Amino acid sequence: MEIKGEYKIAAPREKVFAALNDQAILQACIPGCETLEKLSDTEMTAKVRLRIGPVSAGFSGKVTLSDIDPPNGYKISGEGQGGVAGFAKGGAVVKLTEDGGDTVLTYEVDAQVGGKIAQVGARLIQGTAKKLADQFFGKFAESVGAPPPVAAA
């Protein structure tokens, strides 16, 4: 399944690209993320708990960054095993373009699932995948484009 989207972020492209490589920001933005550990500049491991229709599962997997082109974007790929629930794998091509002082982030996600979660129906999975992508990129855009907190005087 393929999902596309676009977000305008009130931040310069270099700041957005740096945030896309920030483990703490990614962990805070990934829906259901319990842990995200950096193994190298291009590899991380993650534990994520998700609910897809009637199936709730914890997934353990690996996240890899490739085609890195600072500050224009990269490809992020992941694969997770959810035990009896099955597996999920996919990737997203993330592109950043300048728009005045802001940044336009566009993404194209390609995902596959197998096992018990694949049995809940393609439409439900497609809807859930779109919702998860929107949650991640929406929260990411919000956190990166938010004005810095004002210190209490």
pLDDT tens-place string over residues 75-84: 999 899 988 8
Query: What pLDDT does 150 receive?
Result: 56
Q: Label residue 148 by pLDDT band (50, 70, 90).
A: low
What is the CB neighbour count within 10 angstroms for residue 21? 15
pTM of the model: 0.86
Query: What pLDDT does 55 receive?
Result: 81
Cα gap 139→137, rounded to integer Å: 6
Judge whether residue 123 has pLDDT over 60.
yes
List Cβ neighbours of 108 (8 Å cut-off, separation of 6 or more): 2, 3, 4, 92, 93
Judge whether residue 152 has pLDDT over 60.
no
Judge whether residue 26 has pLDDT over 80.
yes
Judge whether residue 45 has pLDDT over 60.
yes
Q: Which domains does the chain have, with CATH numbers?
A: 2-145 (3.30.530.20)
